[in-house]
Homo-oligomer: A and B are copies of this chain.
């Protein structure tokens, strides 16, 4: 369905119009990243400089001796029509316009210019990505718009009308262990739009999970079909920009999008099984949950690793987010009291490790013992930095132990586990190092990490909701699928 786009994103050669020697310019970043990592040929286009980063330039795309598959434009909008013609002459399959200031300005001249770009591209068959966008991040092909993006390849794919929000998905996700198949920033969606790109990621064998930031839907009914098609194959989490009056106004001056009604968007997400998030944080949370947690099918949660008041608030936050913090079941309670009558009958869910001093049971043993009960569907463990007492070393070894024990729970009981690891700005270099080590350890163990209990709880609730929706949708679809000879996707 969407794989016709695939060839666009596997160019043998790329030209950067506006490749610049100045690190302040985005035309520099595009060219430098390609020079460092892209496997094919790269041509810098610059009519002022003789060379950029040691590579001789061409004055125009027309001067490139061969044809070129993919062109990135970082030149001013007033020069764009000439570039479009040059790209068509050189048989480019796609022109990515980082170039902005078209219809999003709201001005007549710029809007007409954009339409003329589209008209010429359509007449020739060349596709346009953008304008007004960061374009393609495709680590397998060595294509990236940002300097610090991971070079490793992963299974998360995303589309974003905003380049900044696309960058936040990539860097925010990377900090929590995510790696990407491709992330496509598509700006004004003049030609390639949300439906094209959603269909593409739905069919893309390199993508297992889809995220997206969308400001306006250009092709409503087709996008709904694309979403149904996608959610039948892989989880999809989206964030809508322009949910309020002020947001709608802003969307129009950012990507010239019509934000549309919030109610319609929400209904569309419900009907298609899309996880509808409310912030960039929540969007990345869902990509983390889908990437790093096995299917969770029930809302009963065991919470560990808090202490005192934090345990109380963890209980409140989990229940307020829609999870059930179920009391310890009778058989687990019996086992606990048989091993330590005092603490065994005192301890509860959430497990407050701070009361266990002097017990024959360690907090880890208590959590592990309770976690083995089929009464719990999911475990969320707080990575605490310990009580105010205790030196940094003790705290760290306590934390390392906790991570090991939690990894054991995930492994031995095949339970979905989430870790809460707060974002704390370290006070000094030693703390920076230990914070980074702890984070890397959690990521290496494969954990989904969240910066707060309430965000972990919300993501887990949505994860469970998705897997339940999927199971129901498949059940409903089965008779139909059988009637039509078993062909066709469950939700399509």
Residues of A within 8 A of B (CB): 23-26, 28-29, 100-101, 105-107, 134, 145-148, 160-165, 167, 175, 213, 215, 239, 241-247, 249-251, 253-254, 278-281, 307-313, 315-320, 324-327, 342, 345-350, 352, 354-355, 387-391, 394, 423-427, 429, 432, 435-436, 439, 451-452, 454
Contact = CB atoms under 8 A, between A and B. Distances in A.
Contacts of A101: 355
Contacts of A280: 313
A311 B250 contact: yes
Nearest to A241: B312
Given A425-B435, A429-B429, A24 B389 contact: yes
A388 B346 contact: no
Contacts of A243: 316, 320
A308 B162 contact: yes
A317 B244 CA distance: 9
A163 B388 contact: yes
A146 B388 CA distance: 6
Given A253-B352, A279-B454, 14 more contacts: A23-B389, A101-B355, A105-B342, A107-B342, A148-B427, A163-B308, A164-B308, A165-B308, A241-B316, A243-B316, A253-B346, A281-B452, A423-B425, A425-B436
B107 A350 contact: no
A26 B425 contact: no
A277 to B, nearest CB: 11
Most buried by B among A163, A312, A424: A312
A316 B161 CA distance: 16
A390 B429 contact: no
A168 to B, nearest CB: 8
A164 B387 CA distance: 7
A350 B250 contact: yes
A327 to B, nearest CB: 7
A173 to B, nearest CB: 14
A219 to B, nearest CB: 20
Contacts of A307: 164
B309 A254 contact: yes
Given A134-B388, A279-B317, A349-B246, A161 B426 contact: no
Contacts of A146: 388
20 contacts: A24-B391, A26-B387, A26-B388, A105-B346, A106-B346, A146-B388, A163-B308, A164-B354, A242-B316, A243-B316, A244-B320, A245-B319, A246-B318, A251-B312, A280-B313, A425-B435, A425-B436, A426-B426, A426-B432, A432-B432
A323 to B, nearest CB: 9
Which 5 A/B pairs are nearest by Cβ-Cβ distance? A162-B309, A246-B325, A244-B319, A247-B316, A165-B309
A58 to B, nearest CB: 22
A425 B280 CA distance: 17
Contacts of A25: 389
A285 to B, nearest CB: 13
Nearest to A247: B316
B29 A389 contact: yes
B425 A175 contact: yes
Contact of A215 (B312, B342, B387, B432): B312
A297 to B, nearest CB: 20
Contacts of A325: 244, 246
A455 to B, nearest CB: 11
B316 A244 contact: yes
A254 B352 contact: yes
A28 B388 CA distance: 11
A315 B426 contact: no
Nearest to A106: B346
Contacts of A241: 309, 312-313, 316
Nearest to A435: B425
Contacts of A319: 244-247
A353 B254 CA distance: 11
A309 B388 contact: no
A318 B439 CA distance: 32
A244 to B, nearest CB: 4
Given A242-B316, A316-B242, A346-B105, A215 B24 contact: no
A320 B247 CA distance: 10
A480 to B, nearest CB: 38
Most buried by B among A167, A281, A308, A452: A308
A315 B388 contact: no
Contact of A247 (B167, B253, B315): B315
Contact of A424 (B148, B167, B423): B423
Contacts of A249: 315, 327, 348
